[in-house]
């Protein structure tokens, strides 16, 4: 057990100090210390994508990333997407049923569009293969991501 | 529309409150499970009252405030709760219309109503919000809801009320609640079924910072900590400190079908028109099997509880908050008035999952920390292995044909554990209650009676015109793994089996599978969905080598929605579904996009079950405990899904959540045959099962 010293991290552009063990999964710091509950616990093993956040722009499983590992980096959660076009197209396409996987889908897709603004249907599917949806909203999610490209649909 | 919900809760003001500020508060006893039902119910209210949808606020169900509408299950919410709200709102509107006419001194018939305002011909107006009309009366029979042509909000796609919060990451789920003083609980599950906890060394767990309590009662063991990560550390420390007595208790996984047909069972005859012994010229016999299936929701189950001043408050994503309260009160000998169960959304719910069990875990941990709320979140491993499972099943079909090849007699036998083990009855305790010192034994799961849709026998009676039939279920009297309701219940395998055999009969008769079905189908609405799906899919066209089209058809529960599916499958030894085309008739459609979403979601879940899913187990316990051991459908495997709604505005609304499951599974199996010439009768349609069918064939 390491010391519970203050850990520093930057989330959605704001610097925070949290008194916790540096090995604490980032997910629990976000949810329980910072009150940012958008990222969800799904499996704890980095296999479902529900906990995804962006670390320096890269989709990252916050459930198995210790908080010390994001020191000096920029963490972006769904709350920090701030009116991203994806949030509009997800509503237009009604691209969810229960919505538990939605935050992870949104941040993963935001990074994809940043990296590959002209991505096609197959590319969206490949990029989201690590994000599980159990309700069967997949095709709506793909349409919402394609619709949020700078070129639109 | 008659509704048991209304018969049990006739008072108008139990359903809604009209607020002077211009809002309508609606208290349905049905709960949001991710299916969008609260939006559909809000549409019904807005439509009947003639108010804007934005004025309708749906209150989450709670045992201290909402009408008791039993479970949110069986695709019945729009029928039951929607039917009740329609009748209530029709009467509330009529009462207000009369009051408005009196206030404005004009005949009621001269008033127009728009967004809650009653307007007289001379322009004077009043509104629901200004009038004071007492609603402390029972609904009277004969309040007439709107007719087919009068709907303004019903029948149009409405954006779901919960979606804006969910795309912004705002708290909506039980996992997101942050009540003051929240503590984190975790429970150690036994390493195998029936394992007994002999001793536990708590010292390592007690040394974890912020551990507030370790709770042990018999083989139930849990921990409560200030911080979530420390609750998980303490959980691991406790697991390492446990000594268990274990034993083998499960049948061999490779011989599951043999176990099901040889275990002691209770027989129920669902249909017997077998008036005389048949002398068959020819017969077709086949055995179908599916494994246990997991709910596999993306969120593990979660419960929250606090004991305060002798009262217990519980938050749960249960499908039946009143039944959960009954179960808690029975187990802990509490009075119902001392327990409140409040519904909070969880992730997608596809039947009786571990929501109630997680709530009870929290209830058992909370007394150790009076006054402080305890939240229990199950681990992914426990969610996949300890939650109630969809039962493994076997379906045997024997069809006798006459000389001309026409069906003379159909016999169907279904072997399965029961499909209902919901909390409430004494033989269906919550999971932790089977582990405590004064353990309550599990009785084998039961089946709902056929008049409620049946369980193992759901959709076991074919919808075709058959001269003679004998349909029976054989419900297991032993339950090695706990089973309960999973979306569509027995309809998944029953429809798969029936439609596979009908397909085989069409081939024997040298007829087209769609034409053959139409030849023995007098149900007009079934014919309509079948024809619509076939037309839309381009039935009959050649799709090239190793590609086939297959069809599946059913009327859910033989009394709900009609659904036909055409699947396009590419296969040699591995199965790839390239397209699903679906036609559905749910009567009057309340929210068209909501229905499409449910039909599409059901079809994709059925595709996942049918081609990929299988709960794995050894002699002692379930071994498929992560997404690696229990893979589900991924984006790259999801085909285009095309849904055609046959709107029937003059017909009663029917539920959409489960209708596409059986027909989708069947269409995939039949398309696999069309592509390869193989009848694969053991699910899932993995390469291993396809190759086994090839070897057997």
| CATH code for the domain of A62 | 3.10.20.30
Query: Is there a domain that residue B340 lies in?
Result: yes
Report in angstroms the alpha-carbon separations of B543 from A3, B570, B680: 65, 9, 21
Query: Is there a domain that residue A130 lies in?
Result: yes
B171 — contact with chain A (CB < 8 Å)? yes
Euclidean distance between CA atoms B633 and B600, whole angstroms: 14
* Alpha helices by DSSP H, B105-220: 163-168, 203-207
Do A79 and A38 meet the contact criterion of CB atoms below 8 Å apart? yes
Query: Is there a domain that residue A1 lies in?
Result: no
Q: What is the pLDDT of residue B126?
A: 97
Which region among B147-156, B519-528, B671-680 has the lowest average model confidence (pLDDT)? B147-156
Last residue of a domain, one of A79, A102, A130: A79
B352 and B458 inside one domain: no
Which region among B24-38, B290-304, B329-343, B363-377 has the lowest average model confidence (pLDDT)? B24-38
The pLDDT of residue B276 is above 70: no
CA-only gyration radius of chain B, Å: 27
> Which chain B residues are within 8 Å of A20, Cβ to Cβ?
227, 229
Do B603 and B633 meet the contact criterion of CB atoms below 8 Å apart? no
Alpha-carbon dihedral B40, B42, B48, B54, rounded to 10 degrees = -130
Walk across the sheet containing B547-555 and list its strands: B547-555, B562-571, B575-585, B641-645
A74 and A12 inside one domain: yes
| CB nearest to B298's CB, from A91, A100, A128 | A100
Stronger pLDDT, B276 or B174, i.e. the higher one: B174
The sign of the torsion formed by the CA atoms of A69, A125, B636, B289 equals: positive
For B218: left if phi > 0, alpha if psi spans -120 to 50, otherwise beta; the answer is left
Euclidean distance between CA atoms A42 and A50, whole angstroms: 6
Which two three-digit tokens encode residue B685?
């349609």
Do A148 and A87 meet the contact criterion of CB atoms below 8 Å apart? no
Euclidean distance between CA atoms A93 and A96, whole angstroms: 8
Last residue of a domain, one of A38, A60, A79: A79
Stronger pLDDT, B452 or B212, i.e. the higher one: B212
> What percentage of chain B reaches a pLDDT higher than 70?
99
| CB nearest to A97's CB, from B173, B601, B626 | B601
B217 and B143 inside one domain: no
Q: What is the pLDDT of residue B2?
A: 63
State the total domains in chain B: 3
Instruction: State whether residue B625 is helix, strand or coil.
Output: coil
- Relative to beta strand B302-308, strand B374-377 is antiparallel
Backbone angles phi, psi at B560, to 5 degrees: -110, -140
Q: What is the pLDDT of residue B271?
A: 94
State the total domains in chain A: 2
Using the beta-carbon criterion (under 8 Å), do A134 and B593 form an inter-chain contact? no
| DSSP label at residue B387 | S
* Alpha helices by DSSP H, B648-686: 661-676
Using the beta-carbon criterion (under 8 Å), do A142 and B635 form an inter-chain contact? yes
B466 and B361 inside one domain: no
B639 and B494 inside one domain: yes
Query: Is there a domain that residue A152 lies in?
Result: no
- B281: pLDDT confidence band, cut at 50, 70 and 90? confident
| DSSP label at residue B478 | -
Do B53 and B155 meet the contact criterion of CB atoms below 8 Å apart? no
- Residue spans of beta strands (DSSP E) within B452-533: 469-476
Tell which residue, B147, B99, B119, B150, has the closest CA to residue B110. Answer: B119
Q: How many other CB atoms are there within 10 angstroms of residue B107's CB atom?
A: 10
The pLDDT of residue B132 is above 90: yes
A115 and A71 inside one domain: no
Q: How far is B153 from chain A (nearest CA, A)?
A: 18
For B75: left if phi > 0, alpha if psi spans -120 to 50, otherwise beta; the answer is left
Peptide bond into B684 cis (omega under 30): yes
| CATH code for the domain of A120 | 1.10.150.120
A21 and A73 inside one domain: yes
A60 and A108 inside one domain: no
Q: What is the pLDDT of residue B405?
A: 84
Burial of B181 (0-12, 13-18, 19+ CB in 10 A): exposed
Using the beta-carbon criterion (under 8 Å), do B169 and A136 form an inter-chain contact? no
Query: Is there a domain that residue A153 lies in?
Result: no
A55 and A86 inside one domain: no
Using the beta-carbon criterion (under 8 Å), do A100 and B603 form an inter-chain contact? no
B593 — contact with chain A (CB < 8 Å)? yes
> Which chain B residues are within 8 Å of A91, Cβ to Cβ?
159, 163-164, 167
Query: Is there a domain that residue A46 lies in?
Result: yes
On average, the pLDDT of chain B sits at 95
CA-only gyration radius of chain A, Å: 15
Stronger pLDDT, B451 or A54, i.e. the higher one: A54
Nearest chain A alpha carbon to B157: A94
B346 and B207 inside one domain: yes
On average, the pLDDT of chain A sits at 95
Last residue of a domain, one of B133, B167, B201: B167
> Which chain B residues are within 8 Å of A47, Cβ to Cβ?
626-628
Do B220 and B244 meet the contact criterion of CB atoms below 8 Å apart? no
Euclidean distance between CA atoms B428 and B441, whole angstroms: 8
Do B90 and B146 meet the contact criterion of CB atoms below 8 Å apart? yes
Complete DSSP assignment for A140-152? HHHHHHHHTSTT-
Which two three-digit tokens encode residue B640?
């285009």
Straight-line distance from the first to the last Cα atom of chain B, in angstroms, rounded to the nearest whole number: 51
Using the beta-carbon criterion (under 8 Å), do B297 and A97 form an inter-chain contact? no
Last residue of a domain, one of A59, A79, A99: A79
The sign of the torsion formed by the CA atoms of B223, B224, B228, B229 equals: negative
Q: How far is B184 from chain A (nearest CA, A)?
A: 11
| CATH code for the domain of B185 | 3.30.365.10
Do B155 and B332 meet the contact criterion of CB atoms below 8 Å apart? no
Euclidean distance between CA atoms B272 and B410, whole angstroms: 10
Give the domain range for residue A99: 81-147
A138 — contact with chain B (CB < 8 Å)? yes
Nearest chain A alpha carbon to B229: A24
Instruction: State whether residue B580 is helix, strand or coil.
Output: strand
- Relative to beta strand A6-11, strand B282-290 is unpaired
The pLDDT of residue B82 is above 80: yes
B358 and B403 inside one domain: no
The pLDDT of residue B613 is above 90: yes
> What percentage of chain B reaches a pLDDT higher than 90?
92
A65 and A85 inside one domain: no
The stretch B100-122 carries a mean pLDDT of 97
A62 and A74 inside one domain: yes
Which region among A4-8, B203-207, B214-218, B343-347 has the lowest average model confidence (pLDDT)? A4-8
> Which chain B residues are within 8 Å of A87, Cβ to Cβ?
167-168
Query: Is there a domain that residue B256 lies in?
Result: no
B367 and B411 inside one domain: no
B341 and B483 inside one domain: no
B105 and B210 inside one domain: no
| DSSP label at residue B398 | E
Give the domain range for residue B116: 4-167
Last residue of a domain, one of B378, B405, B436: B378
B178-191 tens-digit pLDDT: 999 999 999 999 99
Last residue of a domain, one of B167, B202, B226: B167
The stretch B478-506 carries a mean pLDDT of 98
| CB nearest to B603's CB, from A20, A45, A136 | A136
A27 and A46 inside one domain: yes
The stretch B441-451 carries a mean pLDDT of 94
Give the rounded distance of the alpha carbon of B16 from its chain centre.
26
- Relative to beta strand B302-308, strand B311-316 is antiparallel
Which two three-digit tokens encode residue B159?
């954006």
Q: How far is A128 from chain B (nearest CA, A)?
A: 6
A10 and A65 inside one domain: yes
B478-491 tens-digit pLDDT: 999 999 999 999 99
The pLDDT of residue A1 is above 70: no
- B277: pLDDT confidence band, cut at 50, 70 and 90? low
Give the rounded distance of the alpha carbon of B553 from its chain centre.
20
B470 and B582 inside one domain: yes
A94 and A139 inside one domain: yes
Using the beta-carbon criterion (under 8 Å), do A125 and B635 form an inter-chain contact? yes
B626 — contact with chain A (CB < 8 Å)? yes
B180 — contact with chain A (CB < 8 Å)? no
Query: Is there a domain that residue A122 lies in?
Result: yes
Interface predicted TM-score (ipTM): 0.97
| CB nearest to A87's CB, from B167, B208, B380 | B167
Q: What is the pLDDT of residue B542?
A: 87
B355 and B401 inside one domain: no
The stretch B102-119 carries a mean pLDDT of 96
- Cβ within 8 Å of residue B608, ≥6 positions away: B632, B633
Query: Is there a domain that residue B12 lies in?
Result: yes
The pLDDT of residue A72 is above 90: yes
Q: How far is B544 from chain A (nearest CA, A)?
A: 22
A33 and A91 inside one domain: no
Strand partners for A52: A61
Q: What is the pLDDT of residue B1?
A: 44
B397 and B373 inside one domain: no
Euclidean distance between CA atoms A75 and B394, whole angstroms: 51
B310-358 tens-digit pLDDT: 999 999 999 999 999 999 999 999 999 999 999 999 999 999 999 999 9
Max intra-chain CA distance, chain A: 51
Query: Is there a domain that residue B408 lies in?
Result: yes
Do B577 and B612 meet the contact criterion of CB atoms below 8 Å apart? no
């Amino acid at each position: 057990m390491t010391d519970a010293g203050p850990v520093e991290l930057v989330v959605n552009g704001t610097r925070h100090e949290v008194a916790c063990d540096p090995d604490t999964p980032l997910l629990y710091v976000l949810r329980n210390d910072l009150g940012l509950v958008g990222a969800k616990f799904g499996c704890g093993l980095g296999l479902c994508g529900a906990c995804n956040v962006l670390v320096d722009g890269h989709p990252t499983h916050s459930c198995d990333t210790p908080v010390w590992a994001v020191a000096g980096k920029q963490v972006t959660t769904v709350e920090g997407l701030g009116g991203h076009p994806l949030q509009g197209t997800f509503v237009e396409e009604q691209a969810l049923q229960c919505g538990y996987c939605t935050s992870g889908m949104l941040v993963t897709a935001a990074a994809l569009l940043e990296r590959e603004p002209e991505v096609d249907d197959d590319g969206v599917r490949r990029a989201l293969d690590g994000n599980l949806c159990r309700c069967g909203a997949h095709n709506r999610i793909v349409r919402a991501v394609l619709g949020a490209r700078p070129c639109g649909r | 529309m008659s509704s048991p919900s209304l018969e049990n809760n006739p008072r108008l003001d139990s359903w809604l409150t009209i607020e002077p500020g211009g809002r309508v508060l609606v208290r349905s006893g049905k709960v949001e499970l991710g299916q969008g039902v609260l939006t559909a119910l809000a549409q019904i209210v807005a439509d009947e009252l003639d108010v804007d949808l934005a004025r309708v606020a749906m209150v989450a169900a709670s045992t201290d405030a909402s009408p008791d509408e039993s479970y949110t299950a069986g695709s019945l919410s729009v029928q039951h709760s929607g039917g009740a709200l329609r009748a209530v709102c029709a009467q509330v509107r009529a009462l207000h219309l009369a009051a408005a006419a009196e206030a404005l001194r004009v005949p009621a018939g001269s008033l127009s109503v728009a967004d809650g305002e009653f307007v007289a011909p001379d322009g004077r107006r009043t509104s629901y919000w200004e009038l004071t009309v007492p609603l402390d009366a029972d609904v009277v029979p004969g309040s007439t809801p709107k007719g087919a042509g009068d709907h303004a909000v019903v029948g149009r796609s409405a954006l779901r009320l919960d979606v804006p919060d969910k795309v912004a990451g705002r708290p909506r789920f039980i996992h997101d609640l942050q009540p003051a003083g929240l503590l984190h609980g975790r429970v150690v599950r036994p390493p195998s079924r029936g394992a007994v906890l002999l001793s536990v060394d708590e010292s390592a767990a007690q040394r974890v910072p912020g551990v507030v309590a370790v709770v042990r009662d018999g083989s139930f063991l849990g921990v409560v900590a200030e911080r979530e990560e420390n609750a998980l550390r303490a959980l691991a420390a406790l697991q390492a400190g446990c000594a268990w007595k274990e034993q083998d208790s499960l049948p061999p996984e490779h011989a599951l079908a043999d176990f099901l047909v040889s275990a002691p069972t209770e027989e129920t005859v669902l249909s017997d028109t077998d008036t005389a012994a048949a002398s068959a010229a020819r017969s077709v016999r086949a055995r179908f099997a599916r494994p246990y299936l997991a709910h596999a929701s993306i969120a593990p189950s979660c419960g929250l509880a606090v004991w305060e001043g002798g009262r217990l408050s519980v938050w749960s994503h249960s499908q039946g908050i009143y039944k959960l309260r009954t179960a808690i009160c029975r187990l802990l000998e509490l009075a119902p008035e001392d327990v409140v169960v409040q519904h909070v959304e969880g992730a997608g719910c596809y039947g009786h999952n571990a929501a109630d069990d997680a709530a009870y875990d929290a209830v058992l941990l909370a007394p150790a920390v009076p006054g402080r709320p305890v939240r229990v979140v199950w681990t992914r491993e426990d969610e996949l292995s300890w939650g109630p499972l969809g039962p493994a099943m076997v379906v045997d079909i024997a069809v006798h044909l006459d000389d001309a090849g026409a069906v003379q007699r159909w016999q169907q036998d279904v072997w399965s554990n029961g499909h209902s083990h919901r909390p409430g009855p004494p033989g269906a305790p919550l999971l932790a209650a089977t582990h405590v010192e004064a353990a309550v034994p599990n009785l084998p799961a039961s089946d709902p009676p056929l008049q409620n849709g049946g369980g193992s026998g759901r959709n076991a009676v074919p919808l075709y015109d058959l001269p003679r039939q004998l349909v029976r279920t054989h419900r297991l009297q032993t339950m090695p793994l706990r089973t309960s309701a999973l979306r569509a219940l027995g309809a998944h395998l029953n429809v798969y089996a029936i439609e596979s055999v009908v397909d085989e009969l069409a081939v024997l008769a040298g007829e087209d599978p769609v034409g053959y079905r139409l030849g023995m189908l007098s149900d007009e609405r079934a014919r309509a969905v079948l024809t619509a799906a076939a037309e839309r899919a381009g039935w009959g066209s050649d799709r090239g080598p190793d590609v086939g089209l297959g069809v599946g058809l059913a009327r859910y529960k033989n009394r709900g929605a009609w659904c036909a599916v055409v699947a396009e499958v590419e296969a040699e030894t591995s199965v790839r579904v390239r397209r699903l085309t679906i036609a559905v008739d749910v009567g009057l459609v309340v929210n068209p996009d909501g229905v499409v979403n449910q039909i599409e979601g059901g079809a994709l879940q059925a595709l996942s079950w049918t081609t990929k899913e299988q709960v794995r187990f050894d002699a002692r316990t379930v071994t498929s405990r992560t997404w690696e051991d229990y893979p589900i459908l991924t984006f790259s495997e999801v085909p285009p899904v095309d849904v055609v709604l046959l709107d029937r505005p003059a017909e009663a609304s029917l539920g959409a959540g489960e209708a596409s499951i059986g027909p989708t599974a069947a269409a995939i199996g039949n398309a696999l045959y069309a592509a390869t010439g193989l009848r694969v009768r053991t699910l899932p349609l993995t390469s291993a099962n396809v190759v086994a069918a090839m070897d057997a064939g």
